Chain A
Amino acid sequence: MKLSKGTSMLGRGVKRKWSCLEELEAEVVPAAVAEEKEQNGEEDRVEQGGLLVGPPKSDMSHRQQRQLVLGLCLEKLQRYQVGMELSLRRSVLLINTLRQIQEDMRRDRAITCTTDILLSGVQPDSCLLRDDFREDMSITCPGCTEGDVSKSPPLSPEIPSQEASGLPDQQKSPPAVTNNAFSDAVNAMGYLSDLALDDIFEDIDTSMYETSDLPSAWVSGPVWPVSVSLWEDEDVKMRTPSHGSPGSLQSCLMDLNELDHIMEILVKS
């Protein structure tokens, strides 16, 4: 058995145009190209028997690195060996890293938002940079507040699996996903695989979910079609700049219903 650590990079489109951080788009897109080259190089590097070659990662800007680490974090949390128990230490470290990135992003946005406001009053896109990221839905539902989580569970996302969607990779968007994904990832990780010493039934449920492709938290709700709809959502949201309006919650819910409908059709076909 070869010991080389293969890396399967997250989809190429991960940190690209669908980022919720619009103001970063300018930064991200050209950087994405560079990153992609680096990633390609990185893959080659790693395949050469675990050697590290190529441009140093330290050349990346803070945000670029954050994007990269974020993507890797989510990928690692998702990846596990079927039939083998997750290492709790590893899961905890990954989730803590995710939390740290989330904090970092939050701080960034808070600063940018404040700056924006100070500079030019409230702008439509500044509302995308709300502090409140529980549902993050800057992408999907910027107007939603924390209290609306219960109303819009489908928005909590994730790292939808490719098979589920059938949509092209570049629709994946970790930055957007992360804030939503975070709390779900916490649930999803082996934490719930606590043993028979605790609730046995809970345990059995968890183990069933663990062997499936979707972490338990995602399976519990009508996530399947909705996570796909999230991408649709992004498309829709990008085209209709109605964020920041008081009626956005309303529009969110309406969009959801529409999307649900669309997805049902898609899934059936």
Chain B
Amino acid sequence: MTYTSEGIQLHSSPESTSKQWLLYRPGGDMQWCFSQVKGAIDDDVAEADIISTVEFNHTGELLATGDKGGRVVIFQQEIENKNHPQFRSEYNVYSTFQSHEPEFDYLKSLEIEEKINKIRWLPQKNAAQFLLSTNDKTIKLWKISERDKRPEGYNLKEEDGRYKDPNTITSLRVPVLIPMDLMVEASPRRVFANAHTYHINSISVNSDNETYLSADDLRINLWHLEITDRSFNIVDIKPANMEELTEVITAAEFHPHQCNTFVYSSSKGTIRLCDMRVSALCDKHSKLFEEPEDPSNRSFFSEIISSISDVKFSHNGRYMMTRDYLSMKIWDLNMENRPVETYQVHEYLRSKLCSLYENDCIFDKFECCWNGNDSVVMTGSYNNFFRIFDRGHRRDVTLEASRENSKPMQVLKPRKVCAGGKRKKDEISVDSLDFNKKILHTAWHPQDNIITVATTNNLYIFQDKVN
């Protein structure tokens, strides 16, 4: 698949010479179909099964999820069936392992949750795959490797593994490798611990593939992937007097190409871009991105809803996207005073902020993501709705992840929320939205139009409609 600069996806198959339009129908609307759903069907959700992070690897072949129980489940895309391009390959379980266990901090008499906050894949260098997974306090580097052969034919050992008496061995026999069922092993290769006083909210692998950053509420540390017993502190916003604390770090990410550049967002709606070449401690930002507040929208909840829950660089490295409670903003890295694009995710919630504050939903942290060529962005909402915004065509759509719309290849019908006034047929009113059903985590395949959204304990995979 290739992408033109206008973001239109074309597909040329070996069988035909003409190019087929896969992404845009006449009229230009995107259409999405249900592909798969993973997870239990039960309505009664076990807390440990709550999905807490979702991440594709760099090729999109692997899809990792982390849950509240500290487990990581990796799905692998089956080899595409070239004869039937309309059947996009399916994702099946590839590996499952327990990444983090609950711990107890004896000094503070507090439990450390095993919930996986973030997973980030390392670019593949050899046959094995590597990923970083983190909970509130500890980051681990996992190696996922395949084993499909085993040695057989030892004559030095008995069946049960005991060594034979050397006097009984009369010939030399070299074991041979014979095929076996594929076994996928996950082993922890590094444990990066004890570097964070506060809760880790982000990890980001540097483009140099040697270092990565981890960010908690007040500090950001730089690690070398090979070194676990020390890290460099590159940002520290902890005030001398904690009573003066008014702002925390909410997310951080390395620039996709410039290994010296990273950004971090705050609970006050600001993003700071830092250059590590300037000084060892990047407390002084190189750029500060902040949009002046709209005075007409000011309320007691203004600060809370301005808190940025996610920041993601575009793949081309020219833009970054931030998600706050009600909107998504796209920033040009060269313009600090305002975003270049703002997308309202669920503006109808603005009049409900008090209720959302009451039931704590106002503190929910939604993530956002770019598609492979940065032309479309996506984020989640409530009632198991998720939103897709087409930047180029200025079109957006609201879709729902539900078991009712889960027939194979069923096209998802756009949903509409009625903010007030007379509710049209097929619209859902704001007051009927289920705020317990939230989609916080979404991911987009890096090269294809395959998206995945996580409801509380289910992972939905959708793909765009193929003719």
Contacts and interface: CB of A to CB of B under 8 A. Distances in A.
Given A7-B358, A97-B301, A191-B242, A89 B351 contact: no
Interface in A18-41: none
B107 A196 contact: yes
A246 interface: no
Interface stretch (A79-87, A146-154, A158-166, A226-234): A79-87
Interface string A95-128: 0110011001000000000000000000000000
Interface in A168-198: 183, 186-187, 191-197
A92 B351 contact: no
Interface stretch (A47-55, A137-145, A248-256, A258-266): A47-55
A45 B359 CA distance: 10
Nearest to A92: B248
A162 B361 CA distance: 27
A88 B218 contact: yes
Nearest to A60: B354
Of A49, A52, A207, the most chain B CB neighbours within 10 A belong to A52
B303 A83 contact: no
Given A88-B218, A96-B246, A203-B108, A3 B45 contact: yes
B435 interface: yes
B45 A69 contact: no
A200 B108 CA distance: 10
Interface in B353-378: 353-361, 363
Given A57-B354, A85-B199, A5 B110 contact: no
A72 interface: yes
Contacts of A42: 355, 358
A198 to B, nearest CB: 8
B326 to A, nearest CB: 15
A192 B241 CA distance: 10
Contacts of B434: 49-51
Nearest to A1: B47
A52 B107 contact: no
B65 interface: no
Interface string B338-359: 0000000000000111111111
Contacts, number: 138
A88 B361 CA distance: 17
A65 interface: yes
A191 B356 CA distance: 25
Contacts of A195: 107-108, 197
Contact of A56 (B267, B352, B456): B352
A100 B300 contact: yes
Interface in B425-467: 430-437, 456
Contact of B245 (A56, A90, A191, A204): A191
Given A69-B354, A88-B248, A97-B300, A193 B108 contact: yes
A236 interface: no
A187 B361 CA distance: 25
Nearest to A211: B109
A204 B267 contact: no
B113 interface: yes
Given A1-B45, A97-B300, A195-B197, A50 B354 contact: no
B430 A52 contact: yes
A1 B108 CA distance: 27
B436 A207 contact: no
A14 to B, nearest CB: 14
B60 to A, nearest CB: 31
Interface in B233-276: 238, 242-243, 245-248, 250, 267
A12 interface: no
Interface residues of A, number: 55
B87 interface: no
B69 to A, nearest CB: 12
Nearest to A4: B436
Contacts of A72: 357-358
A21 to B, nearest CB: 17
B304 interface: yes
B110 A191 contact: no
A52 B435 CA distance: 8
B300 A58 contact: no
A83 B218 contact: no
A5 B361 contact: yes
A223 interface: no
Interface string A194-228: 11110010011001101100000000000000000
B228 to A, nearest CB: 18
Contacts of A191: 242-243, 245
A51 B243 contact: no
B376 to A, nearest CB: 29
A92 B197 contact: no
A131 B186 CA distance: 63
Nearest to A5: B359
Nearest to A72: B358
B111 interface: yes
A17 interface: no
30 contacts: A1-B45, A1-B46, A5-B359, A5-B360, A5-B435, A45-B355, A49-B434, A50-B361, A51-B431, A52-B356, A52-B430, A52-B435, A57-B355, A58-B351, A65-B300, A65-B354, A69-B354, A69-B357, A84-B110, A85-B108, A85-B110, A87-B363, A89-B250, A89-B363, A93-B307, A183-B243, A191-B245, A192-B242, A195-B197, A203-B108
Those 5 A-B pairs whose CB atoms lie nearest each other, nearest first? A50-B436, A57-B354, A191-B242, A50-B435, A195-B197
Given A66-B300, A93-B267, 10 more contacts: A45-B355, A51-B434, A52-B355, A57-B352, A69-B357, A85-B110, A88-B217, A96-B303, A97-B303, A195-B108
Interface of A: 1, 3-5, 7, 42, 45-46, 49-54, 56-58, 60, 65-66, 68-69, 72, 76, 83-85, 87-90, 92-93, 96-97, 100-101, 104, 183, 186-187, 191-197, 200, 203-204, 207-208, 210-211
